[in-house]
Amino acid sequence: MTENPEITDSHCHLDFPDFEGEIDDVLARAREAGVTRMVTIATKLRNVPQVRAIAEAHDPIYFAAATHPMSAADEPLASVDELVELAEHPKFVGIGESGLDYHYTADSKDIQQESLRIHIEAARRTGLPLIIHARDADEDMARILTEEHRAGAYTCVMHCFSSGPGLAEAALDLGFYLSMSGIAAFPRSSDLRDIFGQAPLERILVETDSPYLAPPPHRGKRNEPAFTAHTARVGAEVFGLDYPDFARATQENFERLFWKAAA
């Protein structure tokens, strides 16, 4: 047992070279911080074997997979059947991350949108949550998520949410979740914290997106699952809660959405 309240890093990338040869140490530091579970994400389907092996080798680690929107133009389009087959693995808990990113790759927006709709259909068929990456694409993202939800319900988390209030409202109206990353803990992110603070507590998750976006006091360094606790403590302040109460709420939220990990 740990003295810290248990929390879950709902999104990280433990297959990245930043963690090579260090997984056991990373897990030990996570446990010490109270982070007892994590979901590691394959951003390209060809990386699934490596990501799956990490999850199979370590009890606290689950995995998800999709084609990241920034790679949609360079990778073969995933098929729904391919994603459904992946979902048969007992530790495969989500479809993602998929989505739209117009910051660097707006020229591929058409293929990104096609890819996104494929991943949404896979989420529908499997009942697993869709994990969404959204950057500089709020209008198209809100439109597609809403259109597709009208065509058939699915569950979803807006991973590393840092978009505007309009997309937050659209996602929450659909029953989706918003995930707090280290960005929400940055000193200049008061507007983002206000968006989270206006959301229902029962729709909030926490994550690192490690190795990126380390929260203070580690900003600028490699992020890792243990640092979820720093973001979660900021989240507790946003909601005016004691840290154990906020941690408990995010655990319940994670288990409601990522039901395979809870099982």
Q: What is the 3-state secondary structure (H, E, C) of 135-169?
A: ECCHHHHHHHHHHHHHHCCCCEEECCCCCCHHHHH
Q: What percent of the chain has pLDDT over 70?
A: 99
Q: What angle do CA 232, 209, 183 make, to 5 degrees?
A: 55
* Positions at the binding site: 11, 13, 97, 133, 159, 209
- Partner residues linked to 205 by β-bridges: 179
pLDDT of 2 reads: 43
> CA-to-CA distance for 78 and 41, rounded, in angstroms?
15
* Positions at the binding site for a divalent metal cation: 11, 13, 97, 133, 159, 209
Q: Quick: pLDDT tens for 30-88.
A: 999 999 999 999 999 999 999 999 999 999 999 999 999 999 999 999 999 999 999 99
What domains does the chain contain, in order, with CATH numbers? Answer: 7-262 (3.20.20.140)
